[in-house]
């Protein structure tokens, strides 16, 4: 009788102890992917299809440097299989807090689920000498806004295909087929951009931040100045005065900016130079209708060509 009661108590105690942890042990059919940006999210969805579930931390209309490390994001990460991020310190202001908070061994540096997409990218603007913060909010490892070049979109898709196949080998052929289909769609879209690219090539423009460097490399637009005097530093009156002169001399007719910066300042410069302010989304979902990566690139190229 005593033994029976003891067994009951032990079983009850074990059940109570295990209850909070039960959720963690349920088998998951799909890979859970969390990405830092909507662009990585969209490419991950294109490659993973219905074999993954994906969420993203940042929104397309939000400055990815300044995302808040909200505890609700920790919940997204704690059960994830993959954490994919842009890298090159783009997420340094919030990612460490989320990863430490998530306490998910699968997302530790060095694990297959820790996917730094920048490692497959040929990076621009890598510091060639010592840099310090007198030069603004510089990224010594290089410019992190690389997804705005379709070649890098292809590389990211290949990275996701390899990562998903490694973590979920039974669906490797699906990931391979999806990645190829994504690349084919991108190739097809790229062929339709040629006339617009010809219009853009060599045209002088001003950009707000260095986030358009890869886009410029791809399209051939010539960035003759930045609204920011140094990366991350808001425009000062003296800098704007100098920029207005530069724009007049170079004949820059367009100021390209992201939706999350203060348009009034750009409008002021435009009013002094006769230029047009073009608010371009740097990421998927940045403006209405931009629901995927190929649309993002297509829209950016078309709008810029139309503005020049």
**Which residues sit at the interface with another protein, rule CB under 8 A?**
20-21, 24, 59, 61-63, 66, 68-72, 74-75, 78, 87-89, 92-97, 100-101, 103, 105, 108, 116, 118-124, 126, 133, 137, 140-142, 151, 217-218, 232-234, 259-262
Helix (H), strand (E) at residue 33: strand 31-35
Q: Please report how close the Cβ of residue 19 comes to another protein at its closest, in angstroms.
A: 9
Handedness of CA 226, 230, 233, 239 (dihedral sign): negative
Q: Bridge partners of 82?
A: 33
Q: Please report how close the Cβ of residue 51 comes to another protein at its closest, in angstroms.
A: 25
**CB neighbour list of residue 287: distance below 8 Å, 6 or more residues apart:** 60, 61, 259, 279, 281, 299
Buried b (16+ CB within 10 A) or exposed e, 50-89: ebbbbebbbebbbebbebebeeebbebbbebbbbbbbbbb
Q: List strands edge to edge, sheet with 82-85.
A: 52-56, 31-35, 82-85, 114-116
Which is closer to another protein, CB of 176 or CB of 217? 217
Which is closer to another protein, CB of 156 or CB of 253? 156
Which is closer to another protein, CB of 8 or CB of 103? 103
Q: Please report how close the Cβ of residue 44 comes to another protein at its closest, in angstroms.
A: 19
Three-state SS letters, 174-229: HHHHHHHHHHHHHHHHHHHCHHHHHHHCCCEEEECCHHHHHHHHHHCCEEEEECCC
Residue 251 exposed, middle or buried by CB count within 10 Å (0-12, 13-18, 19+): exposed
Q: Report the C-alpha gap between 214 and 147 in whole angstroms.
A: 8
Q: Please report how close the Cβ of residue 291 comes to another protein at its closest, in angstroms.
A: 17
Q: Please report how close the Cβ of residue 1 comes to another protein at its closest, in angstroms.
A: 27
Distances (CA, A) of 208 to 83, 243, 280: 29, 11, 11
Q: Please report how close the Cβ of residue 120 comes to another protein at its closest, in angstroms.
A: 5
Which is closer to another protein, CB of 83 or CB of 218? 218
Which is closer to another protein, CB of 48 or CB of 87? 87
Q: Please report how close the Cβ of residue 138 comes to another protein at its closest, in angstroms.
A: 10
Which is closer to another protein, CB of 63 or CB of 302? 63
Q: Work out the number of other CB atoms within 10 angstroms of the CB of residue 307.
A: 19
Q: Please report how close the Cβ of residue 274 comes to another protein at its closest, in angstroms.
A: 27
Which is closer to another protein, CB of 89 or CB of 176? 89
Which is closer to another protein, CB of 113 or CB of 253? 113
């Amino acid at each position: 009788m005593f033994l029976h009661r003891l067994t009951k108590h032990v079983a009850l105690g074990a059940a109570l102890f295990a209850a909070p942890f039960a959720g963690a042990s349920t088998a998951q059919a799909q890979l859970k992917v969390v990405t830092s940006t909507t662009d990585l999210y969209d490419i991950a969805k294109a490659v993973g299809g219905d074999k993954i579930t994906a969420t993203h931390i940042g929104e397309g209309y939000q400055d990815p440097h300044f995302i808040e490390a909200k505890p609700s994001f920790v919940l997204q990460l704690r059960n994830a299989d993959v954490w994919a991020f842009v890298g090159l310190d783009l997420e340094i202001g919030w990612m460490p807090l989320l990863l430490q908070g998530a306490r998910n061994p699968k997302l530790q540096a060095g694990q297959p689920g820790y996917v730094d997409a920048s490692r497959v990218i040929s990076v621009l603007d890598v510091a060639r000498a010592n840099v310090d913060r007198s030069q603004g909010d510089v990224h010594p490892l290089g410019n992190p806004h690389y997804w705005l070049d379709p070649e890098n979109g292809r590389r990211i898709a290949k990275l996701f295909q390899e990562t998903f196949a490694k973590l979920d080998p039974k669906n490797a052929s699906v990931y391979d087929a999806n990645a190829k289909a994504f690349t084919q769609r991108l190739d097809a879209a790229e062929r339709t951009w040629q006339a617009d690219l010809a219009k853009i090539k060599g045209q002088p423009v001003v950009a707000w931040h260095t986030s358009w460097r890869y886009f410029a490399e791809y399209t051939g637009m010539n960035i003759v100045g930045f609204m920011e005097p140094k990366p991350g530093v808001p425009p000062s009156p003296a800098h704007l005065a100098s920029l207005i002169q530069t724009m007049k001399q170079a004949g820059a007719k367009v100021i390209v900016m992201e939706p999350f910066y203060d348009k009034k300042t750009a409008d002021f410069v435009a009013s002094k130079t006769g230029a047009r302010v073009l608010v371009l989304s740097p990421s998927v979902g940045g403006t209405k209708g931009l629901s995927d990566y190929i649309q993002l690139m297509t829209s950016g190229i078309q709008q810029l060509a139309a503005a020049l």
